[in-house]
């Protein structure tokens, strides 16, 4: 399998515009804009990150922060779909295992999709075709990338269903999606996405539609499968509990940009962005003593057509007035290193943030 995928990557290698990165997946200054009648929706506006094989990146943010658009961008699903008559405007670079995807031939990207990179969607009922059996859908995904007969492919499908913990896989392979429960459908979808041993797996809110007990099963499954297959995983979620369970690195998105990125431990214990503080304070926690009150973030998420000038978070930030010269409202902060492999985009001084976190925020959590 690995040799196949490597040869696949080698075939369509384009001449790189800038030096190819060393990381397995590297996204550089990705922008995804949608022209609409009301104006340009800047869903993702300059996002960069790297991910190594065998590691998990958690992308967190509220609805409309650009998490899902990022993942669809990596999969190359924006250019494929048209929005009315207008296409999404995508710029930047996405490097997957030495191949730049945005400038690559669409046919080549199609070969990679499902093979090198696969995706688990939020709602398995709408992501699975109601008209075909689970088996047929998995077989299709396998045969597109492997030249095998139907029998072999079906054996592979049964094997995968067994691997993701579906009971009696040889019988259930002939069931239709509606005959599965929510948790089983999600398992079937995971089986389908893993049937080609992809090296990059993107899970977009994989457990949001599921109950907690089923969620625990699925999270466990994703973790075990990652160990087994050694793939790189991107988990997109709004649930900080889920990222804490799965992710090695965390990227916090707000208004289409990354506001903080770093190892999970750092982001949870030494967060350096007021929005991250807000997220941590908003969340009732089972593992702590009862908080008297939650500390919500005031206001509501910004409109992506009219992103506030300066720091996108400034209208909701309790510390927006601390930096001098009204800089939070005029200058957009860039990501700056605040620790080893830890970046945050904020105008507040690093020591100032450290002090606010340790003195004001952390004791209340």
Partner 1 sequence: MSDDEKAVKIPAQAEGPTEGATLTKDAAPGEVLLKVTGLQKHFPIKKGLLQRQVGAVHAVDGIDFEVRSGETLGVVGESGCGKSTMGRLITRLLEPTAGKVEFQGKDITHLGVGGMRPLRRDVQMIFQDPYSSLNPRHTIGTIVGAPFKLQGVEPEGGIKKEVQRLLSVVGLNPEHYNRYPHEFSGGQRQRIGIARALALNPRLVVADEPVSALDVSIQAQVVNLLDDLQQELGLTYVIIAHDLSVVRHVSDRIAVMYLGKIVELADRDLLYKSPMHPYTKALMSAVPIPDPRRKNAKSERILLKGDVPSPISPPSGCRFHTRCWKATEVCKTTEPPLIELRPGQQVACHHPENFADQAPQDTVLLTAAKEAAELVADEVLAESAETSAAVAAEVAAEAAATPTEAAEPTEAAEPSEAAEPTEATEVAPEASEDDTPAKEK
Site for partner 1, rule CB under 8 A: 62-63, 167, 181-184, 211-217, 219-220, 238-247, 264-265, 268-269, 278-287, 290-291, 293-298, 300-301
Which of residues 103 and 181 has its CB atom nearest to partner 1 in the complex? Answer: 181
Q: Which is nearer to partner 1, 63 or 340 (CB)?
A: 63
CB of 294 to partner 1, least distance (A): 4
Minimum Å distance from CB 148 to partner 1?
32
Edge-to-edge strands, sheet with 249-254: 117-120, 200-204, 232-237, 56-60, 249-254, 257-263, 342-344, 336-339
Per-residue three-class SS string for the chain: CHHHHHHHHHHCCCCCCCCCCCCCEEEEEEEEEEEECCEEEEEEEEEEEEECCCCEEEEECCCCCCHHHHHHHHHCHHHHCCECCECCEEEEEEEECCEECCCCCHHHHHHHECCCEEEECCCHHHHCCCCCCHHHHHHHHHHHHCCCCHHHHHHHHHHHHHHCCCCCHHHHCCCCHHHCCHHHHHHHHHHHHHCCCCCEEEEECCCCCCCHHHHHHHHHHHHHHHHHHCCEEEEEECCHHHHHHHCCEEEEEECCEEEEEEEHHHHHHCCCCHHHHHHHHHCCCCCCCCCCCCCCCCCCCCCCCCCCCCCCCHHHCCCCCCCHHHHHHHCCCCCEEEECCEEECCCCCHHHHHHHHHHHHHHHC
Minimal distance in Å, beta carbon 185 to partner 1? 11
| CB of 104 vs partner 1, minimal distance in Å | 35
Least distance CB 316 / partner 1 (angstroms): 8
| Closest to partner 1 by CB, 167 or 363 | 167
Q: Which is nearer to partner 1, 265 or 321 (CB)?
A: 265
Closest separation between CB of residue 171 and partner 1, Å?
15
Q: Least distance (Å) from partner 1 to the CB of residue 100?
A: 32
Q: Which is nearer to partner 1, 14 or 299 (CB)?
A: 299
By beta-carbon proximity to partner 1, the closer residue of 118 and 240 is 240
Give least dist CB 251 to partner 1, A.
Answer: 14
Q: Which is nearer to partner 1, 17 or 216 (CB)?
A: 216
Tokens of 166: 């579906």
CB nearer to partner 1: give 23 or 214.
214
């Amino acid at each position: 399998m690995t040799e196949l995928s490597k040869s696949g990557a080698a075939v369509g290698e384009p001449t790189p515009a800038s030096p190819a990165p060393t990381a397995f997946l590297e996204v550089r200054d990705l922008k995804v804009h949608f022209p609409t009648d009301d104006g340009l929706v800047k869903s993702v506006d300059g996002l960069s990150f790297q991910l190594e094989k065998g590691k998990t990146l958690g992308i967190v943010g509220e609805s409309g922060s650009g998490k899902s658009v990022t993942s669809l961008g990596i999969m190359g699903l924006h250019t494929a779909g048209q929005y009315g008559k207008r296409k999404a405007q995508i710029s930047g670079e996405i490097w997957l295992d030495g191949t730049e995807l945005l400038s690559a031939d669409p046919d080549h990207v199609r070969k990679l999709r499902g093979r090198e990179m696969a995706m688990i969607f939020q709602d398995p009922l709408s992501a699975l075709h109601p008209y075909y059996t689970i088996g047929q859908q998995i077989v299709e995904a396998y045969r597109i990338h492997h030249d095998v007969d139907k029998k072999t492919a079906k054996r592979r499908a049964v094997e995968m269903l067994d691997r993701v913990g579906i009971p009696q896989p040889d019988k259930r392979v002939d069931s239709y999606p509606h005959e599965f429960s929510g948790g089983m459908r999600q398992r079937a979808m995971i089986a389908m996405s893993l049937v080609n041993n992809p090296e990059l797996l993107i899970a977009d809110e994989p457990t949001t539609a599921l109950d907690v007990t089923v969620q625990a099963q699925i999270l466990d499954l994703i973790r075990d499968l990652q160990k087994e297959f050694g793939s790189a995983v991107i988990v997109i979620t709004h649930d900080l509990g889920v990222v804490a369970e799965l992710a090695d690195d965390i990227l916090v998105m707000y208004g289409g940009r990354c506001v903080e990125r770093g190892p999970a431990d750092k982001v949870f214990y030494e967060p350096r962005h007021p929005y991250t503080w807000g997220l941590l304070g908003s969340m009732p926690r089972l593992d702590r003593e009862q908080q008297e009150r939650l500390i919500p973030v005031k206001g509501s998420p910004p409109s992506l057509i009219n992103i506030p000038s300066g720091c996108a978070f400034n209208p909701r930030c309790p510390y927006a007035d601390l930096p001098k010269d009204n800089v939070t409202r005029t200058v957009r902060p860039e990501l700056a290193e605040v620790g080893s492999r830890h970046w945050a985009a904020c105008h507040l001084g690093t020591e100032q943030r450290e002090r606010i976190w340790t003195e004001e925020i952390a004791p209340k959590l």
